[in-house]
Amino acid sequence: MTVDTAAARGLLLDLIARRSLTPDDAGCSQLLAEALAPYGFEHEWLNHNGVTNLWSLRRCGRANAPLVVLAGHTDVVPTGDLAQWTSDPFVPSERDGVLYGRGAADMKSGLAAMTCAAQAGAQTDLNIDLAFLITSDEEGPARDGTRYVAEVLRQRGTQPDYVIVGEATADEQIGDRFIVGRRGSIGCNLTVHGVQGHVAYPHKADNPVHRVLPALTELAATIWDEGNADFPPTSFQISNINSGTGATNVIPGQAEVVFNFRYAPCSSAEQLKQKVIDCLDRHNVRYSADWWHTGEPYYTPAGRLTEAADKAIGQVTGHKPLHFTGGGTSDGRFLAPLGAEVIELGPVSASIHKFNEHLKLDDFDALCAIHAALLRELSQSLG
């Protein structure tokens, strides 16, 4: 299985040139669909609430063949101040063997690499059914993309056996690690209610900032769990505190606090939520809370998929990769509950969401080879 790296690079350039800010797909999925169609992939568009979702399936012809899903997103985060970029983020630019552009690492390179690896695999005797799940909603609310398609698949009884998400996962060099699990995420928009008044007459007011600070101090100091052999401990982080009227002599009537948990499997979202409620009640905080839960943790233990990834990376780079569970969330959290083994494997993540996002073109070529080798190794192990 040899990937046409020149064609793969061309596809990547075409993808980066499309201004696909969440949830605008900007024609990226159509471009990928056109690249896959000559290789036996049949497309189904599962668009929902303005989000573009492509489900593209190629059957190998073998009865009860395992289903391998290659998953990713075409949407990118905003560019920020264009003056901070050395070149137009939607005009892919190569300098000294490095390609610059929004989405170069997160994750149009992953999509291009998986697409060209699938093209190469389709010309061999792969004995797996192969599908793509491509969405334009990963960087946004993530309600109408992979989450929605996963529910459609569940209702149909479609059971993915293995899922490879093309997110940027490498740390310092291509293939040095891939992700086998993610922590769960639960957060809260907390509104603390007080009584507005004059700062000179505090006995006639109730300062919501003073009221909530002892509770927040306790929450910030709490050890929620110790993690386990595969996951770091659960983390509580306050991301925003806001209060005040703009005047220096007014006690505010309310305060807003935003916080988030990234939690290991040894805690649950309900346990964490209840501990917060108990703490706020102990400190006599009057509040209303808007909780949001964006995903349960998932974990893929050592098995066929991780072993195939280890072998593929070793063949291309010589590395023995780290199996990693850190970082943020991804769409893998919506696919693991379908019963699939899930890993995430892609380019170096150092520049994602930053100005001058980039990747080394040699790394991209290696990534294409890794994905092709991964499909071959997985197919052979299932033979």
Binding residues for Zn(2+): 73, 106, 139, 167, 353
Q: Which residues are annotated as a binding site?
A: 73, 106, 139, 167, 353
What are the DSSP E strand ranges found in the chain?
A: 42-45, 53-58, 67-73, 93-95, 98-100, 129-135, 162-165, 177-179, 181-182, 184-193, 197-198, 235-243, 250-251, 254-263, 287-295, 298-299, 322-324, 341-344, 358-360
Quick check: is 138 catalytic? yes
Report the alpha-carbon distance of residue 340 to residue 150 in Å, rounded: 11
Report the alpha-carbon distance of residue 148 to residue 140 in Å, rounded: 14
Catalytic site residue from 75, 296, 357, 363: 75
**Within 13 Å, how many C-alpha atoms sit on residue 235's CB side?**
13
Report the alpha-carbon distance of residue 208 to residue 103 in Å, rounded: 42
Report the alpha-carbon distance of residue 103 to residue 122 in Å, rounded: 26
Report the alpha-carbon distance of residue 259 to residue 237 in Å, rounded: 6
Tokens of 174: 């291509």
Cis, bond preceding 107 (omega within 30 deg of 0): yes
For residues 371 and 309, the answer to whether their CB atoms sit within 8 Å is no
Catalytic site residue from 138, 144, 331, 363: 138
For residues 274 and 291, the answer to whether their CB atoms sit within 8 Å is no
Q: Which residues are catalytic?
A: 75, 138
